[in-house]
Structure 1
């Protein structure tokens, strides 16, 4: 191993063709962090003996305690590609900007942020558990970001030490994992990515045991046998996977089993059996081990010969098939450089004209082009109390300490510049992250990840950075998360005098976490919203440390959505001065259109004509209505629409802004329980407006329009929607009855799938309101044998009338209104003006 210095890394970073930006993604506990250790040891950043034990990228105390990654951790290092073959330093070096991502679904926003900054993904799958739901999710996210994947099938040691599988069983299990991963790739891959199919034959699939520090590709064994006379490495590599069989008696290859007792599958004979022999010799018979190692050309230190069992196996396998070198070679050979990747990623990430100077600079990865940096997350600085580094990617140009940059916040909308959206700041320090350490460098060129100091007071979560004078620059598109901040808790200070400290802690928490939301209810309560119980628990622990005060935590609160299931009659409302009337109706929005809006296929930034055409042709809208869509809500992007269907009415253009403001407020908090609206289409059908603009100002129109929207909602058979988790529970066959008994009390079971190896996966929809303490109860009932994963799936209609006393929905509405300090539910007669 050759350890490149910080100066070597900085020099290599200037050549974009020798840079690899990679995220490591997987389901929870599939072995990402242990494999990362092996790569760090191959780069000389840690001792080989510590690889798989230290978990160097778990930099937080709670990560070590829980045994899972909570935050994405970046490590930038140099790798001498040529030295792995010669053993001496060469000029064939690369820089690898690696991001180890969490696997738990609650922390998947960390994965989303990491994928935006990288060009390749190392997808890790447990060979026994297979491709789980979260693996599918992160792989789908990677392909959506046009990230090229390679696959590592991990924990192969379980086949030898735990399950004791024969060759054919092991091969079929590995083949199933590869095929399942490729099924996801085939479903979601982009044509611009070209061929993303992962196969052992072309080197894009590796097999590993991260805990013991060894891994191999088919090339590893093809090279081993190529030293024999007449063996072609490339030809043999192609025969070590699939239906290729070898008979040593005839010394011939066939594509089907000949029936001979000596005929074996190529993978089994030349890969699996040698592994099994070495491992069994390490565990059982050391006398047969040394001749076997001589035959394989494996040399180990003398002191290792005194070891036995797993310790001996680990040392020998690391010497024979070092995981770090195998994986880094795969990243270098099969994942794209920034110079290649940015050519096909630019139109997927850049929210500006695709033919301007910025788009061309991104496309060409131009270090001399205009500066454009995307900050995907804020990372707390361990050595500077209360400060944070802005961690991002330089897509074009170069940045150095002392540069003045224009910071465009994530609230910015093209075409309008609010005072709180754009700032000009000076970069105090420029560097790279190596775990929790900030390593200062002179400057960073495009194609690399970067950490910037001095911008934390103006960046919340994400931002786009450009040159200070670049007022016309486009921005990088906002991140789209696969989960939502669905679970909420209130927080308060035990000592009211500590409120300023609590507010400062909440501010830091919002900056540091990509997903968490903090806001104040009308009752004065401070609310934290997160993806799930574990995410909220971690956020609250962080808040206690950031605020440094004693905090009281309220009970968890489930959010709901308000919708309608029928079309309302036309309702009318009169302005406070009695000079204006608005006529409104509500009707359900097509569920397909709601999904299209939430997925980003239809939105406020679309060109009006093309959006109208899509609404007309795909969703059956009237041509006139499609062209008169005023806005989306809430927050200008939500799945509710306001349409102006007035005909021959004067002054509607002048009141548009006021009606839109009222719609945004009303869609943020509906009439039932001030929960956000979902899937409602409001029509402004008619209006009677005073001819004098003084009498139809915003003070008259906004409350009138909001009352009209609420009245239309009440008249259209309002309903509540509850959030659902998709529960995926991995459990041994023996504990399945306990899982069923617990689930049947809460929800319906969707699927029971046999994974083999005496394990099954049970899938079910679980209402979020029924999920509290579910994991603890499940582990208690199954004696810790069941491993559940809960991910937000969808919103489900509560099939009861919230206006009917005693109904389930009515009880939920009553509890929500009481918690929020609202009065009695208004009646339609109180809102609707009778003509």
Structure 2
């Protein structure tokens, strides 16, 4: 088991700490690979590795065989080698602390990946060597690069290439090159031009790519093979490693290398890596004991008497684990190629910290200073053994946290200098997390991941914890998916209603993405997709509320927008008729709402920097960029309020009230009280009364809302529906059935490719979320269970038809939403909001 005292000592040396997430497409083998590291650290036995899936801590994870929640595991490795890049001197040891987070691969749970990446510095990207780089691989990589996370690559399921598809060595090399190149294309595309992380390109010759089979517990990088052959060739391992990848060909007869293929010359990777590997695998699988013993003696592997009695897969696993343990290959990459907190925080701080970069908190974060002010980001909550309580999982960026320490707990709505969303309380416990269990840590210095007790009372999902009075928040998480599917829930027995309300609060804490709201008198749970919602509702019923519940059919969330500029300037008077506001609306340019949601354009940005971006990319008027009052809803939504008026007296005095009215109107639009997206509202003019008693919030806020509603109704209002990007993988013979079903579901096919070297085809299509319910079952029926779909929320698109026309598709959708929310049947007429002079 874990040596707890040794672990605490090692955690004090930040350069020996690695915080990493394991990220990949669904079912590419993250959890089985994690098992190998857990076995090496002594958390589970070596025999269990690959089968146990130790980070599957929930019953439904074990039943479904997929990861649903990200799980943090802290491990200590007594690592051979004193400094990075040097091979070990016998007897020298440098402990390595790895805080690993095993994250889900299913797109419905990608919010868990976002939460995991925030508190990591590096990521091990796992790719199935047969399926290659898939949609979700690209999504999680993009998320990692947005958080400035340095990647390494693990190509998994190599045994499939040998036994299932039976590739030749050259075909295998080509397949592996294609995977590395595809990942590098993504890194080059989304890696940013700032280059703050240095060279992040992957190359097996550098040692930041490994290959293996998590299920069978073996893996290697080129370092291991280079060291194996270095003595035989009397050449440095470093030099040989570079020749084991790429166009380097060797002739055993001439004992010469050359860079172009020729007769008698074989590619170095094929000759020295693939061929010995395949020989060993086939000999073990065929239980050819004579051949196995000959090969094992050549690589210094000895088998005990019991091990020699094994046959087939059992023998193969035993031999391969002894010869090329997967944990060694991964530890080499993690230790040498992933950054320590000392290195990573130098380039991550300016992206994470919202305050000035020269204040005490930012300086301590950059230096990873254990004696500086405490700065912790809590990225998610994990249910504790006490029912209803949670451990807050966070990363200590500076300072040292200890049990009993009094701290400032700042929620996402905290503003420096205010008391909003701020609590000053002591930390009730500090824990080191090891999957489903944990143990007390006492003190945890910066650079480490920690579980905090007692914080869950004051934070909903995420937040910042500090001891520095003038600290700003660490940036809130931006998710790559949206909660676009909703279900209304109610109790079977009315007496259980308080338990449902409490259960919904706990569910909101336990999941980074789920939203639990009251809508039209109903309790509504909103999730990223069908699977995400079903898991959340199961948790609500069985764990958080603990009472039977009724669920409605899943319903899609729609949003509102406009399609043109307002055809007139809209006037709204305050209730006392003493102030007037003149507004117009128009659509934001394509691409800008996405940039606002991603945080590329935001309220806290430098005005000049934001102005340059809006002028260069979206043809904004430079003067208008200086008078953007706010974004909304919630201060960061994809709508904009701009003051385009000239010389209006007292306008700045009512600014806060106008902004409040704007936030209200964009949170609940005019058509169906749905969120507004992609609209720019202009304040064209105003008449503000000189006496402050006549221009309070009770006068200005409702007038602002009415003016904004009128502006939307005069600007071609439209409904937006969410659209999935669907990836369907199926054999060629089942392709017709899959395409027919996608077409019937209003899908738009954008790409169709044949995977090289396999009988599998991949179809990519856009499909409205509304059409996706039951798609999996129907696809199984159409293709005889041979097709596998993967959904990923991609974008919002305008729903056909004018919502003001009750007979159009959009009009029908609006009517359904209004009925569900208990609103009046018809959309209120423009005259209800537009005043006459």
**TM-score under structure 1 normalisation?**
0.96
> Could you tell me which residue of structure 1 aligns to residue 355 of structure 2?
352
> Could you tell me which residue of structure 1 aligns to residue 716 of structure 2?
717
Contact 2:220–2:326 (Cα < 8 Å) also in 1: yes
> Could you tell me which residue of structure 2 aligns to residue 607 of structure 1?
606
Contact 1:244–1:265 (Cα < 8 Å) also in 2: yes
| Distance change in 2, residues 1:687/1:323 (3 Å) | same
**1:170 pairs with 2:157:** no
Alpha-carbon shift at residue 90 of structure 1 (Å): 5.5
Alpha-carbon shift at residue 645 of structure 1 (Å): 2.5
> Could you tell me which residue of structure 1 aligns to residue 190 of structure 2?
188
Q: Partners of 2:701 and 2:509 in 1: how far apart?
A: 33
> Could you tell me which residue of structure 2 aligns to residue 300 of structure 1?
303
Alpha-carbon shift at residue 537 of structure 1 (Å): 0.9
| Distance change in 2, residues 1:417/1:286 (3 Å) | same
Q: Partners of 2:564 and 2:549 in 1: how far apart?
A: 45
> Could you tell me which residue of structure 2 aligns to residue 446 of structure 1?
446
> Could you tell me which residue of structure 2 aligns to residue 509 of structure 1?
507
Two-structure CA RMSD over aligned residues (Å)? 1.8
Q: Over residues 639-663 of structure 1, what are the superposed CA-to-partner deviations in whole Å (9 max), with x where a residue is unaligned?
A: 1122222334333222222222211
> Could you tell me which residue of structure 1 aligns to residue 123 of structure 2?
121
Contact 1:4–1:80 (Cα < 8 Å) also in 2: no
Q: Partners of 2:735 and 2:203 in 1: how far apart?
A: 34
Alpha-carbon shift at residue 15 of structure 1 (Å): 0.8
Query: Secondary structure of the residue that 2:469 maps to in structure 1?
Result: coil
Alpha-carbon shift at residue 27 of structure 1 (Å): 0.6
Alpha-carbon shift at residue 620 of structure 1 (Å): 2.3
> Could you tell me which residue of structure 2 aligns to residue 633 of structure 1?
632
Q: Partners of 2:472 and 2:572 in 1: how far apart?
A: 42
> Could you tell me which residue of structure 2 aligns to residue 227 of structure 1?
231
Q: Partners of 2:73 and 2:183 in 1: how far apart?
A: 26
Alpha-carbon shift at residue 151 of structure 1 (Å): 0.5
Contact 1:59–1:436 (Cα < 8 Å) also in 2: yes
> Could you tell me which residue of structure 2 aligns to residue 785 of structure 1?
786
> Could you tell me which residue of structure 1 aligns to residue 40 of structure 2?
42
> Could you tell me which residue of structure 2 aligns to residue 767 of structure 1?
768
Q: Over residues 62-93 of structure 1, what are the superposed CA-to-partner deviations in whole Å (9 max), with x where a residue is unaligned?
A: 10011000011111111011299999985421
**1:433 pairs with 2:430:** no
Aligned with residue 380 of structure 1, among 364, 379, 383: 383
- 1:81-480 matches, within 5 Å, as 81-82=79-80, 91-190=93-192, 191-258=195-262, 260=263, 262-284=264-286, 285-381=288-384, 383-414=385-416, 416-418=418-420, 421-467=421-467, 470-480=468-478
Q: Partners of 1:346 and 1:603 in 2: how far apart?
A: 18
> Could you tell me which residue of structure 2 aligns to residue 72 of structure 1?
70
Contact 1:670–1:710 (Cα < 8 Å) also in 2: yes
> Could you tell me which residue of structure 1 aligns to residue 53 of structure 2?
55
Aligned with residue 528 of structure 1, among 525, 528, 534: 525
Q: Partners of 1:287 and 1:112 in 2: how far apart?
A: 50
Contact 2:729–2:787 (Cα < 8 Å) also in 1: yes
Contact 2:415–2:472 (Cα < 8 Å) also in 1: no
| Distance change in 2, residues 1:379/1:247 (3 Å) | same
Q: Partners of 2:741 and 2:296 in 1: how far apart?
A: 52
| Distance change in 2, residues 1:817/1:4 (3 Å) | closer
Q: Partners of 2:246 and 2:93 in 1: how far apart?
A: 37
Q: Over residues 319-367 of structure 1, what are the superposed CA-to-partner deviations in whole Å (9 max), with x where a residue is unaligned?
A: 1101112211221122111111111111111111111111111111111
Q: Partners of 1:17 and 1:649 in 2: how far apart?
A: 58
| Distance change in 2, residues 1:289/1:714 (3 Å) | same
Contact 2:560–2:674 (Cα < 8 Å) also in 1: yes
Q: Partners of 2:176 and 2:121 in 1: how far apart?
A: 26
Alpha-carbon shift at residue 834 of structure 1 (Å): 2.9
Q: Partners of 1:234 and 1:631 in 2: how far apart?
A: 56
Q: Over residues 548-567 of structure 1, what are the superposed CA-to-partner deviations in whole Å (9 max), with x where a residue is unaligned?
A: 11111111111111111122
**1:594 pairs with 2:565:** no
Q: Over residues 246-284 of structure 1, what are the superposed CA-to-partner deviations in whole Å (9 max), with x where a residue is unaligned?
A: 1112221111111x2x32111111111111111111122
| Distance change in 2, residues 1:4/1:652 (3 Å) | closer
| Distance change in 2, residues 1:359/1:688 (3 Å) | closer
Aligned length: 825
| Distance change in 2, residues 1:51/1:83 (3 Å) | farther
> Could you tell me which residue of structure 2 aligns to residue 661 of structure 1?
660
| Distance change in 2, residues 1:578/1:474 (3 Å) | closer
> Could you tell me which residue of structure 2 aligns to residue 547 of structure 1?
545
Q: Partners of 1:347 and 1:555 in 2: how far apart?
A: 44
> Could you tell me which residue of structure 2 aligns to residue 754 of structure 1?
754
Q: Partners of 2:402 and 2:688 in 1: how far apart?
A: 58
Q: Partners of 1:188 and 1:582 in 2: how far apart?
A: 43
Contact 1:81–1:329 (Cα < 8 Å) also in 2: no
Contact 1:80–1:90 (Cα < 8 Å) also in 2: no
Q: Partners of 2:350 and 2:149 in 1: how far apart?
A: 13
Alpha-carbon shift at residue 210 of structure 1 (Å): 0.5
Q: Partners of 2:697 and 2:447 in 1: how far apart?
A: 49
- 1:614-625 matches, within 5 Å, as 614-625=613-624
Q: Partners of 1:343 and 1:455 in 2: how far apart?
A: 28
Q: Partners of 2:752 and 2:425 in 1: how far apart?
A: 55
Q: Partners of 1:173 and 1:8 in 2: how far apart?
A: 43
Alpha-carbon shift at residue 499 of structure 1 (Å): 1.2
> Could you tell me which residue of structure 2 aligns to residue 649 of structure 1?
648
Query: Secondary structure of the residue that 2:215 maps to in structure 1?
Result: helix
Q: For structure 1, which segment, 302-311 or 613-622, has the greater mean C-alpha deviation from structure 2 after superposition?
A: 613-622
Alpha-carbon shift at residue 700 of structure 1 (Å): 2.4
| Distance change in 2, residues 1:646/1:81 (3 Å) | same
Q: For structure 1, which segment, 538-547 or 585-594, has the greater mean C-alpha deviation from structure 2 after superposition?
A: 585-594
Q: Over residues 662-694 of structure 1, what are the superposed CA-to-partner deviations in whole Å (9 max), with x where a residue is unaligned?
A: 111111111111111111111222233444433
Contact 2:373–2:466 (Cα < 8 Å) also in 1: yes
Q: Over residues 716-769 of structure 1, what are the superposed CA-to-partner deviations in whole Å (9 max), with x where a residue is unaligned?
A: 111111110000112122221111111111211110111121112110001001
Q: Partners of 1:510 and 1:88 in 2: how far apart?
A: 52
Query: Secondary structure of the residue that 1:591 maps to in structure 2?
Result: coil
Q: Partners of 2:68 and 2:388 in 1: how far apart?
A: 20
> Could you tell me which residue of structure 1 aligns to residue 812 of structure 2?
811
Q: Over residues 27-76 of structure 1, what are the superposed CA-to-partner deviations in whole Å (9 max), with x where a residue is unaligned?
A: 11000000000011111222111110000001010100110000111111
Contact 2:416–2:470 (Cα < 8 Å) also in 1: no
> Could you tell me which residue of structure 1 aligns to residue 729 of structure 2?
730
Q: Partners of 1:233 and 1:66 in 2: how far apart?
A: 44
| Distance change in 2, residues 1:458/1:834 (3 Å) | same
> Could you tell me which residue of structure 2 aligns to residue 685 of structure 1?
684
Structure 2 gaps of 5+ residues are none
| Distance change in 2, residues 1:642/1:316 (3 Å) | same
Q: Over residues 89-124 of structure 1, what are the superposed CA-to-partner deviations in whole Å (9 max), with x where a residue is unaligned?
A: 854211111111111111111111111111111110
Q: Partners of 2:775 and 2:366 in 1: how far apart?
A: 48
Q: For structure 1, which segment, 282-291 or 300-309, has the greater mean C-alpha deviation from structure 2 after superposition?
A: 282-291
